[in-house]
Amino acid sequence: MDWNEIREKARQNMKGYCRGCKRCDGVACAGEVPGMGGTGTGNSFIENIKALDRWKVKLKTLHDVLKPDISTSFLGYKVKMPIFAAPMTGLKGNAGGYLSERDYDTMAAEACKNVGTIFMSGDANDKDMYPAGIDAIKTTSVLGIPFSKPRTVDEIIEKARIAKEAGAIAFGVDVDGAGLIMMIRSGQFVGPKSRKEIEEIVKNIELPLILKGIMTPEEAEIAAESGAKAIVVSNHGGRVLDFTEGTADVLPDIAKAVGGKIEILVDGGVRTGIDVLKMLSLGAKAVLIGRPIMIAAHGGGREAIEFYFKKVSDELYQAMILTGCKDLKNVPEVYKAS
């Protein structure tokens, strides 16, 4: 199996929705929402890529690191790599409908279980989307984390109850979905969440709460103080607000503010193993990857998703050797090019 072949097949199966670009950087698909692009000018998606590119590593080969350990843990669960599948929904509107929600969730969950990592599922205006991820977690017994959009507190608590019954290890809320017009127009409530509301959610669910869509140290502090166990530094892949900062640029300050208080994940433009290593060096415990996994699914199903995970984990392993990094507790320093 070859990544270029997977991309080409995905391009055919997602025709009109994704070009399967050699580098998934948001340029060719700018503004294509619905679709796989970033909202408006596409600047926020593109900035995620640029922000990661600005950070550099130092090549080191005079050391004794021969077999780096790329395993880690999240919320007490041991995983073989710090690379998780981001929650993805809306395949019909965003990817053309070649795969159904259940097709995608099942193959992604199976792939994550087979490679030893965490699967995350999503939520959207179509009420069948959340159950598709829940069922994938239940049937595969993967380490799974469903995410709800920022609905009413009562709706979120109910979705967390369903997640718990399915065997999920945690439960998340996409707080950066607060302004999703598609949901508002379909008559479903989404909106910002106050500190009091987060505390109420934490108090009334039985799973650790993850808040996804944190882009400032101040909101990271609120998440930690309100009882959330983890955050995802994310601008929703650049799909909800134009002209935000890239996640790699805001991550260091967030890690400085709440590192040690709460577990930190990050997404946004992660494509390769060196991207993973840079995000870990900037303060994340693990990364979420979305679009490339969607492309893999359309280019070769479960096997292609596993291929992509192994490709990126191999790149991470190599990058750790070439930076003298023996494990993920001893990541190298990174710096911005002048």
Rg (C-alpha) for the chain, rounded Å, is 19
User: Which band of pLDDT confidence, cut at 50, 70 and 90, is reported for residue 179?
Assistant: confident
236 is catalytic: yes
CATH number at residue 90: 3.20.20.70
Q: What is the mean pLDDT of the chain?
A: 97
Q: Flag whether 33 is in a domain.
A: no
Q: Flag whether 242 is in a domain.
A: yes
Q: Flag whether 131 is in a domain.
A: yes
DSSP string for residues in 195-239: HHHHHHHHHH-SS-EEEEEE-SHHHHHHHHHTT-SEEEE--GGGT
Q: Which amino acid does the sequence have at 256?
A: K
Report pLDDT for 337.
79
Average pLDDT over residues 208-213: 98
Burial class (CB in 10 A: 0-12, 13-18, 19+), 53: middle
The conformation of residue 35, written as its DSSP 8-state character, comes to: T
Report pLDDT for 338.
66
Average pLDDT over residues 216-226: 98
Q: Flag whether 23 is in a domain.
A: no
Q: Flag whether 320 is in a domain.
A: yes
Q: Catalytic pick from 236, 278, 285, 302?
A: 236
Report pLDDT for 15.
93
DSSP string for residues in 149-212: -S--HHHHHHHHHHHHHHT-S-EEEEGGGTT-HHHHHTT-------HHHHHHHHHH-SS-EEEE
User: Is it the case that residue 127 has pLDDT exceeding 90?
Assistant: no
- pLDDT tens, 268-280? 999 999 999 999 9
User: Is it the case that residue 101 has pLDDT exceeding 90?
Assistant: yes
Structural domain harbouring 230: 72-328
Both ends of the chain: CA-CA distance in Å? 39
Average pLDDT over residues 96-105: 96
Listed in sequence order, the residues at least 6 apart from 31 whose beta carbon sits closer than 8 Å to its beta carbon are 37, 38, 39, 40, 41, 42
User: Is it the case that residue 308 has pLDDT exceeding 90?
Assistant: yes
| Bond before 34 cis per omega within 30 degrees | yes
Residue 160 is encoded by which pair of tokens? 């967390």
Q: Flag whether 49 is in a domain.
A: no
Count of the separate structural domains present in the chain: 1
Least confident of 64-73, 101-110, 184-193, 305-314: 184-193
User: Is it the case that residue 208 has pLDDT exceeding 90?
Assistant: yes
For a pLDDT cut of 70, what percent of the chain falls above it? 100
